[in-house]
Amino acid sequence: MPTIDRPRLQSLMQREQQRFVNDRPKSKALFDRAGKSLLGGVPMNWMAKWAGAFPPFVREAQGAHFYDVDGNRYIDFCLGDTGAMTGHSPLATVKAVEEQVRRGITLMLPSEDAVWVGEELQKRFGLPYWQFALTATDANRFSIRLARQITGRSKILVFNWCYHGTVDESFITLKDGVAQARRGNIGPPVDPAVTTKVVEFNDLPALEQALAPGDVACVLAEPVMTNVGIVHPEPGFHQAMRELTKKHGTLLMIDETHTICAGPGGYTRAENLEPDFYIFGKAIAGGVPGAAYGFTEDVAKKITERHNLEDCDTGGIGGTLAGNSLSLAAMRATLSKVLTKEAFDNMIPLAERWTAGVQKTIDEFQVPWHVTRLGCRAEYLFASKIPKNGTEAHDAMDFELERFMHLYAMNRGILLTPFHNMALMSPVTSKEDVDHHSRVFREAVKELVG
Ligand SMILES: Cc1ncc(COP(=O)(O)O)c(C=O)c1O
């Protein structure tokens, strides 16, 4: 099997950086200007992570494509890291937003759309009661608070190398079996080991051991890990996790913010999971900020029993703009007309095609990599062995190589997520878009090891 020749990789990277800069004078000028008012020249810290010397500044996006200010066209497989899984500015959502913008954006009062969305979420995901937040992070945070209140327990449990947004409790990893703050954790309020237990995905004995003392309020989990590459559950894992959580009085929180890619009812409906809480953000409103969390009848009853009208606005679950009319109008349109079963019927085969294209090159050049998929999401990882947990997936990451692959793709009109090698299909992505990626991926690998 060929190994990556690092000096060759570095010299190819230099060539690609030069090409990136040469092709983007207007983005470069905007970045230089931005450096005088925005920290690091970007509006959000992680936007500095794109593989080029600066991020391409966007002129406009539509469907599965966007143009930067220099007129370069991109096929967007990043799709706002799922926030735009609907495709950019889907017409139905845009229409609903345009109409709602003229009729009031945020009122601190409910609209009929809220009821419609609650009913739709009930049908889709099987949980009877719903609440809204502006981000998936907040939906997770609020669910955790409720789980703590209901169980009277202080700790939560997450899986090693998970990501659930900027939830303080979740920035914890295992090092040599010991839980510690995740690398890069900025100003944690307390050592996360105080609030959180962490075990490897697919490790049922470790899960049982962690739950046994009876101090864990909830397990917060993606049903398939998607933020360290894709890590699938082993057969029987979900059923066993459900049984263990029930046995030890721990609530099960399934965060489907990314795994909604598995189908219109997410992984939960596809695999008949039975969570106590369900979290869905990012794509739910077609890119307009909004998120939802749902829970069972039993959880709803326990929340209500503990509800205190006088303090309900200052109990730690809030957000003045949460549940606003604009995001609910956008959710209604997105759920009814964009993220439909028919859309998934189109998106999933495209991800299969993308996966097959990548696999063909892996086979041709015998690189020790693999490609995997969940619904309309696909991802390649720099290890031939399919990881069974976060550590194995994390150990396969190669920051230098990843940046090269991303930059090579960007220079040829393709955007992947900046964080790993993930591609998402939107309802309007085409076979040609996918085939262009297959060609570019092959060229990149050929240059690296051919
Ligand atoms: C599984 C999962 N949950 C929650 C979040 C947080 O979403 P947001 O950043 O929109 O709050 C993310 C973000 O990547 C995620 O991947």
Give the integer Cα–Cα distance in Å for 372 and 281. Answer: 23
With both helix axes pointing from N to C terminus, report the angle between 399-410 and 431-449 in degrees, rounded to the nearest 10. 130
**Probe residue for ligand 1, chosen from 162, 257, 280 as the CB with the greatest number of ligand atoms within 8 Å:** 257
Residue type at 366?
A: Q
* Amino acid identity at 385: K
Single-letter code of the amino acid located at 361: T
CA of 82 to the centre of ligand 1 (A): 9
**Closest of 321, 337, 336 to residue 105, by C-alpha:** 321
Phi (first) and psi of residue 333, to 5 degrees: -65, -40
Kindly provide the b/e burial profile for residues 427-438, where b requires at least 16 CB atoms within 10 angstroms of the residue's own CB.
bbbbeebbebbb
d(CA 289, CA 131): 14
Q: What is d(CA 199, CA 185) in angstroms, rounded to the nearest whole number?
A: 18
Compute, in angstroms, the gap from residue 137 CA to the centroid of ligand 1. 6
Helix (H) or strand (E) holding 65: strand 65-68
| Cα 78 to chain centroid, rounded | 10
**Chain centroid to CA 215:** 28
Contacts 24+ apart (CB under 8 A), 39-45: none
Residue 429: per-residue pLDDT: 98
How many Å apart are CA 15 and CA 11, to the nearest integer? 6
Rounded Cα gap, residues 396 and 171, in angstroms: 20
Rounded distance between C-alpha atoms, residue 369 and residue 361, angstroms: 10
Is there an atom of ligand 1 within 6 Å of 437 CB?
Answer: no
Instruction: Quote the CA–CA distance of 191 and 181 in Å, as a whole number.
Output: 7
- Residue 2, pLDDT score: 79
Q: Which two tokens stand for residue 182?
A: 């995740």
Identify which of 85, 164, 224 to mutate to test ligand 1's pocket (most ligand atoms within 8 A of the CB).
164
Is the entire prediction scored with pTM above 0.85?
A: yes
| pLDDT reported for residue 33 | 98
Give the ligand 1 atom nearest the CA of 162.
Answer: 1
Ligand 1 centroid, distance to 38 Cα (angstroms): 24
Q: What type of residue is 298? A: D
Ligand 1 close to Cβ of residue 165 (< 6 A): yes
pLDDT one digit per residue (tens) for the chain, 450 residues: 778 999 999 999 999 999 999 999 999 999 999 999 999 999 999 999 999 999 999 999 999 999 999 999 999 999 999 999 999 999 999 999 999 999 999 999 999 999 999 999 999 999 999 999 999 999 999 999 999 999 999 999 999 999 999 999 999 999 999 999 999 999 999 999 999 999 999 999 999 999 999 999 999 999 999 999 999 999 999 999 999 999 999 999 999 999 999 999 999 999 999 999 999 999 999 999 999 999 999 999 999 999 989 999 899 999 999 999 999 999 999 999 999 999 999 999 999 999 999 999 999 999 999 999 999 999 999 999 999 999 999 999 999 999 999 999 999 999 999 889 999 999 999 999 999 999 999 999 999 999
**Strand ranges inside 296-433, DSSP E:** 370-374, 377-381, 414-415, 422-424
Atom of ligand 1 nearest to the CA of 282: 10
HEC assignment per residue over 308-366: CHHHCCCCCCCCCCCCCHHHHHHHHHHHHHHCCHHHHHHHHHHHHHHHHHHHHHHHHHC
Taking CA 449 as the corner, what is the angle to CA 448 and CA 450, rounded to the nearest 5 degrees?
110
pLDDT for the residue numbered 1? 73
**Distance, CA of 447 to CA of 185 (rounded, Å):** 36
Q: Is ligand 1 within 6 A of the CB of residue 227?
A: yes
Integer distance in angstroms from the first to the last C-alpha of the chain?
12
**Residue owning tokens 């294209």:** 357
Cα separations in angstroms, 150 against 216, 219, 250, 300, 314: 12, 14, 10, 10, 17
Say what the pLDDT of residue 419 is.
86
Closest Cα partner for 280 from 317, 318, 253?
A: 253
Contact 331, 412 (CB under 8 A): no
